[in-house]
């Protein structure tokens, strides 16, 4: 082989060596950048500040993208755990605050009963015990719904069945001699929607129960079901004391009770629980009211669950 050919081959080998060196250097730089990015991701993940980023389709970027999604999942789980811890702390605080009064009353009437046996004291103890039981059950239900322990399972159901069950359950309260309230509901065919029967019944029951509680004696509560293309609307209309405009945004808060109804027995958790349930089924509640004339609570339930 001549000198010229040897020289040509040397140039080729030298070129290959340079290209190989450049490629290796580029790969090392790329790997360092990737490792730096992963290190940055880990730093952000530890502070729960990780965000979505755009990646190209190279193999390393695919790894980066998957690793990013994994860390995002971990960060999301950390946030959820933190929120659940906060919810539990709020629940414990709520329970400890709300049960003080019934427990104090039970203690008081028990002492009075020892000193002077009386049927009145026994009835008061029973009443306060039932109130305490209802309060704790409501708080536990609310906490379980908020933390996803209880899952709403909507399915296609007839709302008429739920309403008729609620009317039977509240009939004794409505027809009480001091109230004498008439509940009017005209069933007109089947009204199908997607909802969890058990929990939806509890939500609507809470609203009807409130209407009975805050209606005037000898009043009337009307329940009307209307079909729309996407929703079933359930109107619960009373001629009770009504809700002021400034309280309209407050009535669904947990434990909120208006000063105007402080003398009426209640704990202020029914409407809060009702809204949590209906929203969990992709529905919503709307309220219209006039002080002294009454209120209309409208519940919208989807006809198709997505």
Residues above pLDDT 90, as percent of the chain:
19
pTM of the model: 0.60
Tell me the mean pLDDT in the region 117-128. 80
Q: Which two tokens stand for residue 288?
A: 């219209």
Most confident option among 23-27, 121-125, 179-183, 233-237: 233-237
Nearest to 264 by CA among 216, 193, 306: 216
Q: Which two tokens stand for residue 99?
A: 């049960």
Render pLDDT for 29-45 as a digit per residue (tens, 0 to 9).
666 776 676 666 556 55
Render pLDDT for 218-227 as a digit per residue (tens, 0 to 9).
889 999 999 9
Could you give the 3-state DSSP secondary structure of residue 284? strand
Residue 180 has pLDDT above 70, yes or no: yes
Render pLDDT for 204-222 as a digit per residue (tens, 0 to 9).
999 998 888 888 888 899 9
Tell me the mean pLDDT in the region 169-176. 83
Most confident option among 53-62, 194-203, 247-256: 194-203
Q: How far is CA 50 from CA 39, 60, 104, 125, 267, in A?
A: 12, 19, 49, 55, 41
Cβ neighbours of 97 (radius 10 Å):
10
Whole-number Å distance between alpha carbons of 146 and 271: 15
Whole-number Å distance between alpha carbons of 71 and 77: 10
Bigger pLDDT: 198 vs 36: 198
Domain 155-302 listed as CATH 3.30.565.10: yes
Residue that is written with structure tokens 């950048």 in the block? 33
Tell me the mean pLDDT in the region 65-76. 61
Q: With contact defined as beta carbons under 8 Å apart, do 300 and 233 qualify?
A: yes
Boundaries of every domain in the chain: 3-77, 99-146, 155-302
**Which band of pLDDT confidence, cut at 50, 70 and 90, is reported for residue 196?**
very high
Spell 129-158 as b/e; 16+ CB within 10 A means b: eebbeebeebbebbbebbeeebebebeebe
Q: Say which DSSP state 216 is in.
A: P
Largest CA-CA distance found in the chain, in angstroms, rounded = 128
Spell 198-216 as b/e; 16+ CB within 10 A means b: ebbbbbbbbbbbbbbbbbe
Tell me the mean pLDDT in the region 279-291. 90
Q: Given this model, what pLDDT does residue 54 score?
A: 47
Q: What is the mean pLDDT of the chain?
A: 76
Q: With contact defined as beta carbons under 8 Å apart, do 184 and 224 qualify?
A: no
Could you give the 3-state DSSP secondary structure of residue 264? coil
Angle between helix 59-98 and helix 3-46 axes, rounded to 10 deg: 0
**Which band of pLDDT confidence, cut at 50, 70 and 90, is reported for residue 56?**
very low
Residue 237 has pLDDT above 70, yes or no: yes
């Amino acid at each position: 082989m001549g000198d010229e050919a040897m020289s040509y081959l040397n140039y080729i080998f030298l070129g290959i060596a340079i290209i190989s060196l450049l490629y290796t250097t580029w790969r090392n730089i790329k790997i360092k950048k990737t490792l730096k990015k992963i290190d940055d991701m880990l730093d952000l993940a530890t502070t729960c500040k990780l965000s979505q980023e755009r990646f190209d389709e190279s193999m390393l970027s695919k790894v980066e993208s998957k690793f990013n999604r994994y860390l995002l999942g971990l960060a999301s789980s950390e946030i959820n755990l933190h929120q659940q811890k906060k919810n539990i702390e709020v629940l414990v605080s709520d329970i400890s605050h709300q049960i003080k009064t019934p427990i104090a009353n039970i203690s008081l009437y028990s002492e009075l009963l020892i000193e002077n046996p009386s049927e009145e004291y026994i009835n008061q103890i029973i009443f306060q015990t039932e109130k305490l039981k209802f309060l704790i059950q409501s708080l536990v239900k609310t906490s379980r719904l908020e933390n996803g322990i209880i899952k709403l399972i909507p399915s296609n159901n007839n709302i008429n069945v739920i309403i008729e069950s609620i009317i039977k359950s509240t009939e004794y309260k409505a027809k009480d001699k001091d109230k004498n309230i008439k509940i009017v509901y005209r069933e007109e065919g089947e009204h199908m929607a997607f909802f969890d029967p058990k929990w939806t019944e509890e939500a609507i029951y809470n609203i009807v129960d409130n209407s009975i509680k805050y209606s005037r004696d000898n009043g009337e509560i009307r329940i009307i079901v209307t079909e729309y293309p996407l929703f079933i609307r359930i109107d619960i209309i009373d001629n009770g004391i009504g809700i002021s405009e400034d309280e309209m945004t407050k009535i669904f808060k947990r434990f909120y009770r208006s000063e105007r109804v402080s003398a009426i027995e209640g704990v202020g958790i029914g409407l809060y629980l009702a809204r949590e349930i209906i929203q969990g089924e992709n529905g919503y509640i709307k309220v219209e009211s006039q002080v002294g004339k009454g209120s209309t609570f409208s519940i919208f339930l989807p006809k198709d669950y997505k």
